[in-house]
A and B are shown apart, each in its own frame.
Chain A
Amino acid sequence: MSQSPENKKGQVETTGHVWDGDLREYNNPLPRWWLWGFYGTIIFAIVYWILYPAWPYAGTYTKGISTVSFQSPVIGPDGKPVKGADGQPKMETKTEHWNSRALFYQEMQTSPSALAQQEWLAKVKDMSFEQIAANPDTLNFARAMGHGLFGDYCAACHGTGGQGHLSKNPEGSYPNLADNAWIHGDSYEKIVSEITNGIQGNMPAFGALYKGEKLTDLAQYVLSLSHQPGVNEEAANRGKASFATCAGCHGANGQGNQAIGAPNLTDQAWAFVDVPGAKNYDDKLKLVEGVIEHGLQHQMPKFGDRLSPEQIRLLAVYVRQLGGT
């Protein structure tokens, strides 16, 4: 730097301009490569405009020549995805100009994590439920995958942790999946079929059959089955005779019937009726009377058309792990 003759010690180059006789302007020039750096940014910008969407014009914008390709389901003339021979949606390669939405699709299909997930999916595809649950790694995969799916599809009703919801109005209640009371049974196959096909729960109304004291006696008996404190034993004994009507579904001893989804009335877990949350025994009695009088209708939608069979299998493993058995 100081090899140039002008840069000798103690001398500073001036621009040569002089005002008022002695006012001079120092010249400390920038290194030239700095200028090249500036030109470099201009070239970068031009390359960017050519490659990527950049300039707005006439209600649209320049698209750039850079593209993103991803797999997209084929949509039929009816506006619905076309299914291939294997029952899975038919896919086609779609190419769009560079945009972050297409990049997101691409990433969900070809990123290292997406490929790793596909590898695990292939691994558990041919394993039985028991085999998946017996290996800590596949079990972890099923739980991790199931947790995401549960959050997306199930948590709205059953809660983020599967804890369900008990409401004062039994028809606004959703069963708890994190306990060990299984209304429809805890076999993996059963859980899969429920998620796939949905559930229609229906208890008929018995308000025409049991009224007044008879209704109260029956409710007393139902509460006595799970040994609720405050049961009037006398009334419960009177109601036992009426329970014959209920035994057809709930069993002779009220132990329930998983085949038709009739809950066990003798345990401490309540799927629809908010007995644990009632303030006092009279409230519990009123709740049970209400269910006997008006019946109980419940629906769970089917998810077979929204989730793939493999997703449902993993979801079943997750749900069964929630509360244990």
Chain B
Amino acid sequence: MSSVDLTEKESELYQAREPIHPKSIKGRFRTFKTSMLVLAYAVFFLLPWVRWERAVGPGQAVMFDIPSRRYYLFDLVIHPQDMFLLAGFLILAAWLLFFVTGLVGRAFCGYFCFQTLWTDVFMKIEYWVQGDRNKRMKLEKQGWDAEKIWKKGLTIFLWTLVAFWTGFTFTAYWADAPQLFVAFFTGTANSAAYITTGILTATTLVAAGFAREQVCIYMCPYARFQAVMFDKESLLVSYDVNRGEGSTGRKPLQKGLMTLEERHAAGTGDCIDCKLCVQVCPTGIDIRDGLQLACISCGLCIDACNEIMHKRGWPEGLIRYASEKELETGTKPSLFKFRTIGYGIATLLATGLLLYGIFNMKPVDFAVEQIRQPLFVVMSDGTVQNSYQLKINNKQQVPLELDLELKGLKNADVSIGGNFTTLSIPADGTRNYLLHVRAPREAGVSRQIIHFELKDKSGKLPVIQQQASFNFR
């Protein structure tokens, strides 16, 4: 048997996640993040409970009603055939993201992304229960005693509550919220409600409580492609290397290196290597290593560094929003460059088109379909009959009474199946009518173009016309 060198370190194929315990910090960016968080939470959690008066449809301001195929957004009702608006909205959102990313980097990730928002809240809960960074790290090292079990347990319990309410709120967008609330807790809600809430509770708990920065680093596609949209003039959260490192590198505060003058004389940079910027980072990176994939550009390291600089009475901005070009040459970046102007125009254009689309949605859809089996029938008196299927979709919130008129056919006799004289379409509803048109044969004519006209009895809508053809033989 050959001897095996047992001293060689066996390499690990898989890497365990190292827990990150960010220190809490105060500052401009923290305040901005918190206000965004409060705003987003207020909108997300309260919106399903806002009531709204409607002639037809649910009394909920925002509701995505899948069974009846309607999206209700206040006074806007989106029908399936208006779904292109959703495509327009997504295009607008994409361009806006490109525009902002070209200008100020991953602003979406740092301040608006729900992964960031929920992680922030979960960290806050951790902070309340377990204390700040040092206490949390101590607790992590501690054995599983009563204190650790109680504190970790309470944290996970509170996380689960937030995650559950998140899942339930999401579900409440797809059903009447108060009714769902009662049904949900009396066990009579649709199974889809329980499944949706359950899945979202689980994913929220895992993503915001345990996976956190792993989501940003390994799962999120935006993280990968946003980084390639930077250029040398994009404003990014950066460490001013020249100022921080000086000519001989960063050094902690020590005797003879206490003031800026002393440090500059010694060639030492302004960075005192306090590592506060690393400690506050929610993804656990060191911003001083330069631009990196894991940076979600939340600005907390700027807050941390500014706090230290402020305490020392040194100028702020050792870590700040700066472009690569600015750090290299000291020139301020120009915000009006080809990329931002292009994306800006595209964003404005998409917004304009979307608004135009919303305000010019057709109030009524009218379709005429000629029945082709058979195309024509000879009646007992020798006249020819063609039949048509009319489909009228009233997207308004009021019922519609319509008069039907046929243009372009001589001696035609029009009858609506069921012997109706007018077409009545309920508010926000659809009706089909079968139409028989009879006309005497004309010598030498085999097909003629005809027009159906719908006239609103109340006179509010313009005349709606549809073309069809009449086959004599």
Contacts and interface: CB of A to CB of B under 8 A. Distances in A.
B59 to A, nearest CB: 23
A272 to B, nearest CB: 15
Contacts of B434: 143, 321
A160 B418 contact: no
Interface string A106-118: 0000001000000
Interface string A304-325: 0000000000000000010110
A276 B420 CA distance: 33
Contact of A161 (B8, B285, B373): B373
Given A2-B294, A13-B11, A180-B380, 6 more contacts: A1-B294, A9-B286, A137-B431, A140-B432, A143-B432, A268-B378
A261 interface: no
B145 interface: no
Given A268-B378, A323-B385, A1 B67 contact: no
B285 A268 contact: no
A271 B286 CA distance: 90
A162 B385 CA distance: 14
Interface string B368-380: 0001111001111
B325 interface: no
Contact of A16 (B9, B285, B378, B431): B9
Given A16-B9, A143-B434, A160-B373, A269 B17 contact: no
Given A1-B217, A29-B13, A29-B15, A268 B373 contact: no
Contact of A1 (B13, B18, B379, B432): B18
A46 interface: no
Interface in B413-430: 415, 417-420, 424
A3 B137 CA distance: 13
A137 B417 CA distance: 12
A31 B294 CA distance: 14
A233 B11 CA distance: 111
Contacts of A3: 18, 20, 278, 284
A16 B11 contact: yes
Interface string B8-24: 11011111111010000
Interface string A140-174: 10010000000000000001111100000000000
Contact of A15 (B11, B372, B374): B11
A324 B380 contact: no
A interface bracket (residues with beta carbon within 8 Å of B)? 35 or more
A133 B371 CA distance: 20
Interface stretch (A32-40, A95-103, A202-210): A32-40
Contacts of B381: 267-268
Contact of B385 (A112, A143, A267, A324): A324
B435 to A, nearest CB: 10
**Residue of B13, B213, B372, B418 most packed against chain A (CB within 10 A):** B418
B247 interface: no
Given A30-B14, A35-B14, A180 B373 contact: no
B379 A180 contact: yes
B9 A32 contact: no
A170 to B, nearest CB: 18
Contact of B286 (A2, A112, A135): A2
B371 A32 contact: no
Given A1-B18, A13-B11, A321-B417, A136 B431 contact: yes
A191 to B, nearest CB: 16
Given A1-B294, A133-B418, A134-B418, A269 B379 contact: yes
A323 B377 contact: yes
Contacts of B17: 31-33
A324 B417 contact: yes
B436 interface: yes
A269 B278 CA distance: 92
**Residue of A163, A323, A324 most packed against chain B (CB within 10 A):** A324
B441 to A, nearest CB: 10
Q: Is the interface of B mostly helix, strand, loop or mixed?
A: loop
A4 interface: yes
Nearest 4 Cβ contacts at the A-B interface: A161-B373, A267-B380, A163-B374, A29-B15
Contacts of A34: 14, 218
Given A136-B431, A143-B434, A276 B378 contact: yes
Interface string B274-287: 00001000011110
Nearest to B284: A3
B192 to A, nearest CB: 11
Q: Is the interface of A mostly helix, strand, loop or mixed?
A: loop
Contact of B211 (A13, A33, A324): A33
A323 B417 CA distance: 9
Contact of A2 (B284, B371, B379): B284
Interface in A1-44: 1-4, 9, 13-16, 27, 29-35
A290 B27 CA distance: 104
B418 A264 contact: no
B35 interface: no
27 contacts: A1-B217, A1-B285, A2-B285, A2-B286, A2-B289, A3-B278, A3-B284, A14-B11, A29-B13, A30-B14, A31-B14, A32-B17, A33-B17, A34-B218, A35-B14, A135-B418, A139-B417, A143-B434, A161-B371, A163-B374, A178-B387, A179-B379, A179-B385, A276-B378, A321-B417, A321-B434, A323-B436
A237 B94 CA distance: 85
A181 interface: yes
**Residue of B16, B18, B286, B377 most packed against chain A (CB within 10 A):** B377
A33 B14 CA distance: 9
B378 A29 contact: no
B15 A178 contact: no
Contacts of B382: 268
Given A139-B417, A163-B377, A268-B378, A16 B8 contact: yes
A32 B378 contact: no
Contacts of B379: 179-181, 268-269, 323
B377 A159 contact: no
Contacts of B374: 159, 161-163, 176, 178
A268 B441 CA distance: 12
Given A1-B217, A163-B377, A30 B13 contact: yes
B134 interface: no
Contacts of A143: 417, 432, 434
B31 interface: no
A33 B214 contact: yes
